[in-house]
Chains A and B, each alone.
Chain A
């Protein structure tokens, strides 16, 4: 009897094993991103495409930013902050190894943070580390970071892709062969074509469902549509063709997920240049902009109108779209009051993204209605950075500021907006020194109101994240609190 039971059990187990394997979900994924990264080291470049591939997949930081934008523990399992907000003591996860087999210890953290803020650092976000005074290894798994002044956003900053922990053994070669601590290991990069990651069998955290992930680089909107329809790729987390979304919405094979990003799309205005140095002129421009028409025309209806430089999904957001509502008559009155009854001529320099080029045409038409005659000048990114951003050689431009929580740029002295407000700077300085959440929210609201009423820029819309993927795929981020494709929770449902 006993033997029989065992046989039965064995049979059942075998049957179960067979069924599971027959119905085992697939474990490979091919997804596409629009731009190919220049290299794969997130600590040495600003290109979002680097983080699209490596963030949280290959490289991890002390903290990480979750799908909802919250700061979560990552390589640091916990931390304490001193009462004066100056000393952060991090306890590292035990048993973490880099993909080359070396162990992660406090020395790697010290190396990473010192390298990022060194004189010869080429970190694109070096300013994130500017508050750090010293970094010391207390023991193998404890790191003490001392700041020179309190910084409320410090833990958030450490969650950026630019702050991921690298090892001294591999730091120099991460550009071509990234070596991190994440759940996926880098396998190959066929330049111009694709990059492949495979599951890291020695991962310290929870194992991921996918065995192999291939990123393809598809920039052409029509090609992106065809690649999804033909099944060449199973996901396009940031789909570049809003005009083609309708085609997928009615197709049960696909899931279409419209989420938010940290991209505030603004009509950048040179506040230091005549006539834009006059508040009335900037207010006139604000009253002349019909945001919904811009969103409909440039983004095919996708995008949330904003009235200030802040993401609408952020808990500290204030709705300020009505500060200067669309009113061409009011706009003309303000122009006349500012001394431009017949309007004026100006230039509008447009970088390559479709939101800028399409949006620019619509804005030029809207401003022409109130007498402002814009000459449209298309530029490449390299030119834009040189002429507009660095040289401030522009009147108006359109750009999406995609860095998370970047309202602080309005306090930068030589930023390309050329905006200077003592009131705003005071709020920002206070924010930096405040770590209480409610107090920080209050200050952030104040800051949003100041730049909204100063009409520093034409505040247009929050860039959407249009995600299209196979309906059987789950776990991709719906929103983009920072540019990344964290694949740790992605799995096939059948």
Chain B
């Protein structure tokens, strides 16, 4: 188990280094000068040059990379070109929205998907199974921004139970803050739940056709006991994989939902930083996100090893 973990850690470090080089290089190649963008169409060339110098953009590329990466290693993420506040403050402010939102969505999606998937697998081929699978198909097919708008029109515009969007901050009170995240969490969770339910069902069905399940049944274990004790644990591997991917997606890939609910989340920070060519923000946040994804995957790998002892010896 230990050497397995060490090997995974090494891979994590190499991935992070490669990601930092790629992110930096790509953003430097992308056309668009942050200073020119900030000063607009009427700016004089000397004003643009003065701003470039202020931003440190007049330095050559490679020293800039090392200054940046050196800062990252010592926990200094740099200062936003546009907001002129430390990037880490921006990220922290966004994480207090994005992280709870991602966790809420993940919780909702798991809470819906696992029971539904297990229920469907246990009743394979019945009308109930067919009905549930048709519903999940619909859940996957509906674009989440459209579903989000539907939620807004019903619960915010017509019923006025929750606000149509925005985030009041945690200072406004736990319920006020949570209610602002409720609709976005549902909008994010539903399609994810649909996918997860289908994966759970098919993974369980795969496992249920294995020899050892037949053996368990043959030695007289009741169907339910076989399902819970033998099948479910082994079926969890694909489910964990999908969950890991979904969490990474929920953390930063929620830009569309964040736009629909005008939430100050990480996805919108990155998107806005890209359009404003706030390179330092994009670079630092993307590397942070890569780190998160890689670490989540690392944890998922460890969870595989827990779920499947054979992996530990590999």
Contact = CB atoms under 8 A, between A and B. Distances in A.
Interface of A: 36, 38-39, 45-47, 119-127, 175-176, 190-194, 216-220, 222-223, 226-227, 229-232, 352, 380-383, 385-387, 389-390, 401, 403, 406
B163 interface: yes
A189 to B, nearest CB: 9
Contacts of A230: 152, 156-157, 160, 163-164
A217 B276 CA distance: 15
Nearest to A116: B47
Interface stretch (B83-91, B107-115, B135-143, B211-219): B83-91
Q: What 5 pairs across the A-B complex have the smallest Cβ distances?
A: A46-B40, A382-B32, A192-B264, A38-B82, A230-B164
B116 to A, nearest CB: 30
Given A122-B50, A191-B83, A230-B157, A223 B44 contact: no
B54 interface: yes
B26 interface: no
Given A176-B83, A226-B157, A382-B31, 20 more contacts: A38-B83, A45-B38, A46-B42, A121-B47, A123-B47, A126-B46, A176-B84, A220-B262, A223-B165, A223-B259, A226-B156, A227-B164, A227-B165, A230-B164, A381-B32, A382-B33, A382-B36, A382-B276, A385-B32, A385-B37
A402 to B, nearest CB: 9
A222 B33 CA distance: 31
Contact of A47 (B30, B38, B157, B260): B38
Nearest to A230: B164
A381 B274 CA distance: 11
Contact of B262 (A219, A352, A385): A219
B270 to A, nearest CB: 11
10 contacts: A38-B278, A120-B50, A123-B47, A190-B93, A192-B268, A193-B169, A220-B260, A381-B275, A382-B37, A385-B37
Interface string B93-122: 110000000000000000000000000000
- Overall SS of chain A's interface: loop
B43 to A, nearest CB: 5
A226 B36 contact: no
A126 B47 contact: yes
Chain A CB within 10 Å — which of B85, B261, B262, B264 has the most? B262
A390 B165 contact: no
B41 interface: yes
B166 interface: yes
A368 to B, nearest CB: 28
A124 B153 contact: no
B79 to A, nearest CB: 11
Nearest to A229: B157
A226 B276 CA distance: 26
Nearest to B264: A192
Contact of A46 (B41, B53, B149): B41
A232 B157 CA distance: 10
A143 B33 CA distance: 37
Contacts of A176: 83-85
B272 to A, nearest CB: 7
A385 B30 CA distance: 13
B277 interface: yes
Contacts of A45: 38-40
A112 B50 CA distance: 17
Contacts of A217: 262
A192 B269 CA distance: 7
Given A46-B41, A121-B50, A122-B39, A191 B259 contact: no
Contacts of A39: 82-84
B167 interface: yes
Nearest to A401: B41
A383 B149 CA distance: 31
Contacts of A123: 47
B32 A380 contact: yes
Given A190-B93, A231-B160, A223 B47 contact: no
Given A39-B84, A122-B50, A385-B32, A191 B93 contact: yes
A124 B269 contact: no
A47 B38 CA distance: 7
A126 B47 CA distance: 7
A246 to B, nearest CB: 16
Chain B CB within 10 Å — which of A38, A121, A386, A390 has the most? A38
Given A226-B152, A230-B160, A124 B33 contact: no
A124 B36 CA distance: 9
Contact of A226 (B31, B38, B165): B165
A385 B36 CA distance: 7
B42 A125 contact: yes
B164 A191 contact: no
Contacts of B275: 352, 380-382
B97 to A, nearest CB: 8
A382 B264 contact: no
A175 to B, nearest CB: 5
A223 B261 contact: yes
A190 B177 CA distance: 15
A123 to B, nearest CB: 6
B165 A191 contact: no
Contacts of A386: 31-33, 36
Contacts of B23: none
Given A386-B36, A390-B36, A220 B259 contact: yes
Given A122-B47, A123-B47, A223-B259, A218 B165 contact: yes
B282 to A, nearest CB: 12
A229 B164 contact: yes
Contacts of B53: 120
A194 B47 CA distance: 29
B149 A222 contact: yes
